[in-house]
Amino acid sequence: MTTKSFGKYGTVALATLMSTSLFLSACGSSNSAKPETTPGASPAAAAKEKVDGGEITTAYLGDPQGFIRFWATSANSSEVIELVFSSLYKFNEKQEIVPDLAVGQPTFSEDKKTMTIKIRNDVKFSDGHALTADDVVFTYNIAINPDYKGPRKGTFTSVAKVEKVDDTTVKFTLKEPNAGYIDMMPYNILPQHLLKDVPVKDMDKSEFMKKPIGSGPYKLDEWKSGQYLKFSRVENYYAGKPSIEKVNIKILGDANAMMAQLQTGEINQVTVPVDNLSVIENYAKQSGKIKLEKGVKTSSYSYIGWNLKNPLFQDKAVRQALTMLMDRQGIIDGVIEGQGTIVNAQTPPTYWTFTDNVPKFNYDVDKAKKMLASAGWKDSDGDGILDKDGKKFEFEMTGVQGNKVREKAMTVVQQQLKKSGIIMNIRMLESSAYSKAVITEKKFESVYGAWNIAGDPNPRGTWHSSEIETGMNTTAYSNPEVDKLIDEDLKTFDKNKRKELLNKVDALVAEDQPYTFLYSGFSTNAYPSNLAGYNPQRDGLKEIEKWYFTK
């Protein structure tokens, strides 16, 4: 399972995390909702004359983390990487791998311990150098190098070696069968001729992180940190020259500012935050300049994570009680305008392994107070605040700055907990500082975040204890039975058996409540009214190489 924090917009993808830096997710009202197009542009635009050229301008809350995916965890980082680079495979909206540089699907040996992949022979980096199997081998050897300490290391623990068979064939030798192999596939292939002399331990600090050379549909022209990134199309892109000539990304730092610029035309593509939806719907109808795709399913969920290294949150009953003190449906109705559905576990409803047959901790203040009292948390001095052994029940929750929906939700949670004698202080951080504190350094007490889930459903990166120090297990969650099930699942290629194993993982994690799982849902995407060729089931800039303007 690949996790990214939402970090791009004020709703659906604000990670880890974003994300991966973790960020935010807008949700639909029910899992059966269907995409709908708001009046403002006719679908018949696709039948009009195709225009060569034009620009797409969008906005992020913060800068990407750089252009090497081994060190990037945020949604906006993944998005810009896909603009500039090719990978062996990409994920489609069904979370299946589809060939990019690869030719066909991987082939496995009978014992599933070797995986062979053929690649195209007509691909070049934007500096003119041919991309060959040498570049693929070079890229994947970074991930298995002992000096690589990045957050994606756990994805490659099953890989013993990666070697070249010939210029268009690569062989992966695995230590053991890995049913989650697809999570290794979407990593950007790096140019060996430019990075071969850069030590792996220094690569995340190299100039290449901000001045990349890739083989994707676009190339980076300029990145002014905190202000903007500018891209232009690659004329000789192997899959065909993109129609859209330029892509511009503004760093605005505030979702309301994004919506203001959407209405003035300064940006023309963005995910619409739920708290701005009615205003933007009206603008679309009145202006005819944009169209909205509503009800786009996402594989994301929002959550509150409890740092289990903090003694305050080490009692499972306390974590369960905290969840029961939160009116999650109230947050959905009052904060995100009904655009969400409660989730109780870590697998989004869109996944084939989803189950709702897990322990649930529904809103029940009286029961939660009794559980806290049983755990020793009582108002012994009559000041209205719970205390235990002389310590007040007080903690800090970290969120990402500029996301008004999330800030409002955190305030609601703060008020709900205060009624039961718990003090929650709010700390909002700029997106890069948030990523550093939560993902890299894991220096937080609790966090309000969201994950965008992609790829294989195995959640090793988020919940396996081996991922605590350098991986994405930010809450330091450890359950030996969960570890065992995760490891067993990765060796199982039967889908029915995998669903059984992963449903058990969901139930155990739900029981332990290292997260208070909040909601999952849908996004609303705004596009120019004369834009065609995009897939309404994909958000952000995904598949932009297929877009075109019409007249």
Digit-coded pLDDT (tens) for 245-279 = 999 999 998 889 999 999 999 999 999 988 888 99
pLDDT at res. 496: 96
Strands 246-251, 55-60: pairing kind: parallel
Q: What CATH number should be reported for the domain holding residue 373?
A: 3.10.105.10
Task: Kindly state whether residue 227 falls inside one of the protein's structural domains.
Answer: no
Phi, psi angles (nearest 5°) of residue 342: -60, 140
Query: What is the DSSP code (8-state) at residue 237?
Result: -
Q: How far apart are CA 57 and CA 262, in angstroms?
A: 9
Task: Kindly state whether residue 447 falls inside one of the protein's structural domains.
Answer: yes
Token pair for residue 524? 């609303």
Burial class of residue 140, CB neighbours in 10 A (0-12, 13-18, 19+): buried
Task: Kindly state whether residue 221 falls inside one of the protein's structural domains.
Answer: no
| Half-sphere exposure for 78 (CA within 13 Å, toward CB) | 32
pLDDT at res. 48: 84
Phi, psi angles (nearest 5°) of residue 131: -95, 125
Q: Which domain holds residue 385?
A: 300-522
Task: Kindly state whether residue 3 falls inside one of the protein's structural domains.
Answer: no
Amino acid at 40: G
Tens of pLDDT along the chain (551 residues)? Answer: 766 654 443 333 333 333 322 333 322 223 333 334 444 444 444 468 999 999 999 999 999 999 999 999 888 999 999 999 999 999 988 888 999 999 999 999 999 999 999 999 999 999 999 999 999 999 999 999 999 999 899 899 999 999 999 999 999 999 999 999 999 999 999 999 999 999 999 999 999 999 999 999 999 999 999 999 999 999 999 999 999 999 999 999 888 999 999 999 999 999 998 888 899 999 999 999 999 988 777 888 999 999 999 999 999 999 999 999 999 999 999 998 888 889 999 998 888 999 999 999 999 999 999 999 999 999 999 999 999 999 999 999 999 998 888 999 999 999 999 999 999 999 999 988 998 999 999 999 999 999 988 899 999 999 999 999 988 999 999 999 999 999 999 999 999 999 999 999 999 999 999 999 999 877 889 999 999 998 877 878 999 999 999 99
Concatenated DSSP letters for 93-134?
A: TTS-EEESSEEEEEEE-TTS-EEEEEE-SS-B-TTSPBP-HH
Judge contact between 191 and 128, C-beta under 8 A. no
Strand order in the sheet with 228-233: 55-60, 246-251, 228-233, 218-224
Token pair for residue 333? 């109705």
pLDDT at res. 540: 86
| Half-sphere exposure for 376 (CA within 13 Å, toward CB) | 8
Task: Kindly state whether residue 208 falls inside one of the protein's structural domains.
Answer: no
pLDDT at res. 538: 80
| Tally of domains within the chain | 1
Phi-psi region of 249 (alpha: psi -120 to 50; beta: other; left: phi over 0): beta
pLDDT at res. 43: 46
Task: Kindly state whether residue 459 falls inside one of the protein's structural domains.
Answer: yes
pLDDT at res. 338: 83
Task: Kindly state whether residue 412 falls inside one of the protein's structural domains.
Answer: yes
Concatenated DSSP letters for 378-406?
A: B-TTSSSS-EETTEE-EEEEEEETT-HHH
Query: What is the DSSP code (8-state) at residue 273?
Result: P
Q: What is the pTM of this model?
A: 0.78
Q: Which of 278, 280, 275, 244 is nearest to 261 (CA)?
A: 280
Task: Kindly state whether residue 453 falls inside one of the protein's structural domains.
Answer: yes
Judge contact between 12 and 26, C-beta under 8 A. yes
Q: How far apart are CA 369 and CA 366, in angstroms?
A: 5
Token pair for residue 168? 């268009």
